Structure 1
Amino acid sequence: MTAPLPWQAEAWERLSRARRVGRLPHALLFTGPEGMGKGHLARALVAAILCEADGDTACGECRSCQLRLADSHPDRLVLQPEKEGGAIGVEAVREAIAFLQRHAHYGVGRCILVEPAEALTTSAANSLLKTLEEPTAGSLLTLVASRPGRLPATVVSRCQQVHLAPVATDDATSRDWLDRNLGPGHDAAKLLALAAGAPLRARDRASEAATVDFAEWQALATGEADPVTVAGRWQREPATALTAVVAWTEDLLRLAAGAGEALRQPDHQAALQRLAEGVDWRRLLEFHATAVSTLDGLTRRNLNAELALEGVLVAWTEATRRPRR
């Protein structure tokens, strides 16, 4: 059976309800941070639509499900780059449009999954517009994007968004799921904090969690730790470290905005509140932009991990030591 992940229950219920009353949009854009399982949710929806049992989730046993599981369903098409970090070109999109215009083999309709949608070239994305504006009857186009801002606004506006927001570190559903998948000996709350509330990323980085320490991040702000030394320890897992730094900084910004009830890491609230008392928020916003940009560069370009991390931690000490004006 292909089912949504536990923290996707609310989004899944909305999609299932729309399906039951025949009001599912022809184009859906699944958004949210990496590690939220957006692609999994989109695939679960496509599987349910193609399934001959017509339940809320795919049965996994009917002829249609067996074809899908064998990756040979004639009414399902997945558009992905040929290689990691590559692009989805206009020719691939034109073939996909022609695919939608053919009759479905099983009478349910035809489904296309585009993942990651950010890989679409500008020409390819623009080629989708006519299909989005004049959809083929019975077709479903699903796009999955961690950075929807990189898609043309005309494409985004013609899709209904299904957004998966990060979970809080005290989210029982996600913590139970991590406990089941990782077994004993792991701190689910800490893993979620380091993964910025993305459960799949928390699971995948469980072995890296011991490298990054919130207490050291605090010590940098108070001058009790050296950024070069900390960067040297954290550079074994720079993406995990920078993801955590971004998440901690965002919680500081939430406190600044008076939104303490929205903290992703409520376990750190007291410590974050102490940090917040002497922070220049303009500098903190500048630092946040630097950290996000560096994380993006680290994952998409060949940056020197240790130097990149060191630069962010030095910027952190400067942002937190500067007095208010």
Structure 2
Amino acid sequence: MTQPSKPLIVSLGDPAGVGPELIAAAWLTRERNALPPFAVVGGARLLADAAKLRGMSLSIEQVETLEDAREVFSRSLPVLGALDGPYRPGHPDEDGARLALASLEKATALAVASEAAALVTGPVAKARLAAVGFGFPGQTEYVAHACGIAAQDAVMMLAGPQLRTVPLTVHMALADVPGAITGELIQRRARVAHRALQQDFGIAAPRIAVAGLNPHAGEDGQMGSEEQQIIAPAIASLRASGIDATGPHPADALFAPHARGNYDVALCMYHDQALIPLKALDFDEGVNVTLGLPIIRTSPDHGTAFAIAGTGRASAGATVAAMRMAAGCATRRALHG
């Protein structure tokens, strides 16, 4: 894999979760997985303690700049700055949430300032962040705001070796989903995904499969009218503009092995319709990518996993995948333009 010209910047995530130990574990696989140089914002003592509890021998060096990080990466995990806190796996608290937020803010600022090739964010607990004054639904919305991008133009894509999905609606009650589905939203999400697949993933002519909302994609209106009244007309408009969109497809068949080769991304109507198949197929390598930003941002597609933090049971696969995907997207975007 061609490496980006600048290091990646990584935020800690919640220090009571699995983020710190998985960052440490990822660095230890840097040669085997051809990871690009990266630095973590804060947590030198915390990372050392997390590695020790996992039985890993980890060398850490605090650095002042990302260029310093590139120089030490081959021998030590670079930690940028003096932010730190105690390591209490499985016991989240407000001090830990403040550390996670400070790390996220600094890492995002470095990415927005083009000092880093890409941003990789560790998993956080949304409720914990809200308790310390974080005013965004999640990290995606925060990063979009920091980039000056409207939240509706920052599109979540879940990506793994076997599947890519985009949820049209995200963190809302299932009962509210039908009312939130509009033709304009379908087209907006699809256009952002189309551009990103070209620019960041190197797919010249992306194929977008659009799922239906109802069983059997509505069965010609017998099981719901959203497909006929909203989804199909939006697909027709996308096709008229030159985007290869198909559907609405019955969601129960869209993710079967024989179907997945017919599209590059599936645009799904709600959160679980997109995340269940991705996690079923690619749980240990799933990556959350934010499309539509002026920076590259990825994150492992799993949560803080407080219940298993510090036990050594968590896999670093998704963290490694998030770093590799960030590097690949950054390299392709630089070549694209």
Asked whether the two chains share a fold, i.e. TM above 0.5, the reply is no
TM-score, normalised to structure 1, is 0.24
Larger helix fraction of residues: 1
Which structure has more relative contact order (CA 8 Å, sep 6+)? It is: 2
TM-score, normalised to structure 2, is 0.24
Larger strand fraction of residues: 2
Say which one has the larger Rg: 1
